[in-house]
Structure 1
């Protein structure tokens, strides 16, 4: 059930900018808040997650509560900013309270990482933290100053393309590092 909810949240996250774009004039922000909040609450209650997952869910639930109480359509555009800030926090905190997030993920596949791989995963964690900082700042700027179409284009397509490029670039670099080691 937890995996299904996680997958559903990913799908909702991908569709969210388009739902806002097409639904903003027709659907109440309170409906968005109820649906999004319901998914995050279910994930919080049914999923097994660490401290990071709990505080992320709590932050999103607080956002949904604010959105539901205010009923303000302009708040809908802040969700991607919030998610980027939460991911930035997750990656950055893992650098201070180790092991870094990318190292944890790598150890799922290879429990005995060599020292060079541990240093590499720390650097990759820093890159992802910087990415989420930049992505969050761009999303915030578009929320504040750009037309809804530009916001939708960036948060619904371009940012996911950039994530894919970062994944692909890191994978290619990792292959080079492995061959050199």
Structure 2
């Protein structure tokens, strides 16, 4: 496995574990040290990849880390899941305004010649993901402000991932049905 691939996997694992790392650090470390970790993660992401998404994550992480460091406060660190949802919402939402949609771009990696029905479907799926990122970001915000540290960790470090996985699995099942319907319609049109 190439060096940057290993770094990318480690960054993804640390990012997934971020809520748990924050929770386990409460009362054990000063917030400014975790702010430094968040900043290092952001900079490492930029070393590995310089996409609009990584720049968005890095800018958000830098802002939160700065506020956390300056005030030696936990609250800014708890807003990182909000930043992640906001950046992904911006990415997916922008793709709706400037097609092709994010999901269409992903679909074309496997199937470059998408029929019109599939393009419409991928646009709808992109809209569903926008709704998910909105709801997830608002819930992450609410848990950061009003929930206990344990509930914040549970939602942002477990429940949100389960919901994302359920959405992916549900979309995969729906996609199979849509593909079958499109194939049947194409066969009917030919025959």
Give me the TM-score of the superposition, normalised by structure 1.
0.91
1:36 to 15, 35, 38: 38
Which moved further from structure 2: 143-152 or 37-46? 37-46
2:17 to 15, 18, 27: 15
- Per-residue CA deviation, residues 107-141 of structure 1 (Å, 9 max, x unaligned), is 11111111111111111011001001001111111
Which moved further from structure 2: 126-135 or 12-21? 12-21
- Report the count of equivalent residues: 180
Q: In structure 2, do the counterparts of structure 1 residues 2 and 68 end up closer, same or farther at CA, with 3 Å as the change threshold? A: farther
In the alignment, the residues of structure 1 paired with residue 20 and residue 32 of structure 2 have an alpha-carbon distance, to the nearest angstrom, of 17
Residue 57 of structure 1: how far off its partner (Å): 2.3
In the alignment, the residues of structure 2 paired with residue 39 and residue 26 of structure 1 have an alpha-carbon distance, to the nearest angstrom, of 20
Where 2:29 maps in the other structure, the secondary structure is coil
Q: Is 1:178 equivalent to 2:179 in the alignment?
A: yes
2:57–2:83 contact (8 Å) kept in structure 1: no
Q: Could you say which structure has the greater relative contact order, defined with CA pairs below 8 angstroms and 6 or more residues apart?
A: 1
Unaligned runs of 5+ in 1: none
In the alignment, the residues of structure 1 paired with residue 99 and residue 4 of structure 2 have an alpha-carbon distance, to the nearest angstrom, of 25
Q: Which runs of structure 1 show a deviation greater than 4 angstroms over 4 or more consecutive aligned residues?
A: none
Residue 13 of structure 1: how far off its partner (Å): 2.0
Considering only aligned residues, what root-mean-square deviation do their CA atoms show, in Å?
Answer: 1.6
Residue 180 of structure 1: how far off its partner (Å): 0.9
Of structures 1 and 2, the larger Rg is shown by 2
In the alignment, the residues of structure 2 paired with residue 21 and residue 9 of structure 1 have an alpha-carbon distance, to the nearest angstrom, of 18
In the alignment, the residues of structure 2 paired with residue 79 and residue 179 of structure 1 have an alpha-carbon distance, to the nearest angstrom, of 40
Where 2:6 maps in the other structure, the secondary structure is helix
1:2–1:47 contact (8 Å) kept in structure 2: no
For residue 74 of structure 1, what is the aligned residue in structure 2? 75
For residue 125 of structure 2, what is the aligned residue in structure 1? 124
Residue 2 of structure 1: how far off its partner (Å): 4.1
